[in-house]
Structure 1
Amino acid sequence: MAYLNAREVLPPELLKQIQQHLDGQLIYIPKKSAPRKPWGSQSGSRSLLQQRNQSIRQAYRRGQSLACLANQLHLSEDAIRKIIYAEKARSQPSGPAGKAQP
């Protein structure tokens, strides 16, 4: 980020007002805030992980064991279990207190 001379980029009236408060001092002006993008959406990591997790769930439904999937994907059995059961938790309807309905 390069420094800019305020005299070259600001209207004279605004420059005078700023000089009243910060005469000769450096000031940082942040960018306008923009909504943040979700993690991994720009690089594609998010969709790659979603595809990987979906293939894990499909393989598990076809009968592959947790140990086999963990070994193939270099993940712990606990990580595989969380991926498999995360889908089940999302697909179950929840009641008014956030608890699953019987």
Structure 2
Amino acid sequence: MYRNAAACLPPELLRELQRYAGGEMLYVPAPGSAKKKWGECSGRRSELEARNAEMVRLYLKGERIEELADRYALSVERVRRICYGRRAKKNGTAPLNER
């Protein structure tokens, strides 16, 4: 979002910025702790997590990987990664980098 620095910064800081980048556009990154993961702001991340959990539930009930791939318009390999990865995490057998 664009904001006028004169409207939001103290005069001393504004003068200092003008010395270094007067008239230029600057990007001011958020502090590291304020950064959000992909999809957190839009809600897409939670939508995909819910979809994947439902997919795992159906798989554990006996639905075939190929049927899930068709239902969710995903590749068979992607459905395998979702189902096997989640199941392994639940059982505590996933590789350390997937936990």
Which TM class, normalised by the smaller chain length? 0.5 to 0.7
What is residue 42 of structure 1 aligned with on the other side?
41
Cα distance, 1:53–1:3 mapped onto 2, change above 3 Å? closer
RMSD: 3.2
- Written as runs of structure 1 = structure 2, the 5 A alignment for 1:15-34 is 15=15, 26-31=23-28, 33-34=30-31
Give secondary structure in 2 for the equivalent of 1:84.
Answer: helix
Report the TM-score, using the length of structure 2 for normalisation: 0.65
Kindly state the Cα deviation for residue 83 of structure 1 after the two structures are TM-superposed: 0.2
- Mapped to 2, the partners of 1:59 and 1:41 lie a distance apart of 25
- Written as runs of structure 1 = structure 2, the 5 A alignment for 1:68-87 is 68-87=67-86
- Mapped to 1, the partners of 2:25 and 2:66 lie a distance apart of 54
Cα distance, 1:2–1:33 mapped onto 2, change above 3 Å? closer
> Which segment drifts farther, 49-58 or 26-35?
26-35
Kindly state the Cα deviation for residue 86 of structure 1 after the two structures are TM-superposed: 1.5
Give unmatched runs, 5+ long, in structure 1.
none
Matched, 1:56 2:55: yes
Give unmatched runs, 5+ long, in structure 2.
none
Cα distance, 1:71–1:26 mapped onto 2, change above 3 Å? same
- Mapped to 2, the partners of 1:44 and 1:2 lie a distance apart of 25
Report the TM-score, using the length of structure 1 for normalisation: 0.64
Structure having the higher helix fraction is 2
Q: CA contact under 8 A between 2:65 and 2:76: conserved in structure 1?
A: yes
Letter in 1 for 2:23: L
Cα distance, 1:80–1:28 mapped onto 2, change above 3 Å? same
Pick 1 or 2: higher relative contact order, CA cutoff 8 A, min separation 6. 2
How many residues are treated as equivalent by the alignment?
Answer: 88
